[in-house]
Amino acid sequence: MIPRNPRTRATSFALVLLLPAALGGCFSDSATSPPKAPLDPANPFRATAIRVHPLTQIVPGADGSPEIICHVELLDRWGDSTKSLGDLTIRLFGPKAGSAGDAEVSRWDLDLTNLDDNAALFDPATRTYRLQLAGGPDWLAGFIAGAQPGAVRRIILQASLSSLGRTLTDDYVIDRR
């Protein structure tokens, strides 16, 4: 039924014209969507991407030395968080003396092939692997919130997962400028 009041009729007409335009943003065009990794029938939820999550931070450890709380997220072909088996390596890159390049400073190797260890490292609240990494260089203390800035202003954390003949890698930059 069309309203008889001209003002209500004009509002209804405008609404009918604008509604499809507004809803047009709710649908995606498959041509513009990023390509999905090929489906692995044996493991459809296999990790196809890795990300060092922004929850990653540097905190004082129990003994006062700096410790990295590194959150690593694995994503399946649909972009959803997932778990995976494999060998996870976290590398810390810092400035190379006398050069603009970066040098590996510390490295942590974690075995995620043991199911119990894998489950213990996974944080269900954040859907990431939460890794407490101690033993880094002392100058990392300059990156702790509230600490006096140190000479080092930029570091890179790199996470690599080797699983089933493939390696997924992501770099995360912490910059204190």
At residue 87, φ and ψ (nearest 5 deg) are -105, 120
Q: How far is CA 173 from the centre of its chain?
A: 12
CATH class of 49-175: mainly beta
Q: Where are the domains of the chain?
A: 49-175
Using alpha carbons, select from 69, 174, 77 the residue that is nearest to residue 128: 69
Amino acid 11: pLDDT: 59
pLDDT along the chain (177 residues), means of 10: 59 52 44 57 86 95 93 95 96 70 86 96 97 90 70 84 93 84
Amino acid 90: pLDDT: 97
Whole-prediction pTM: 0.73
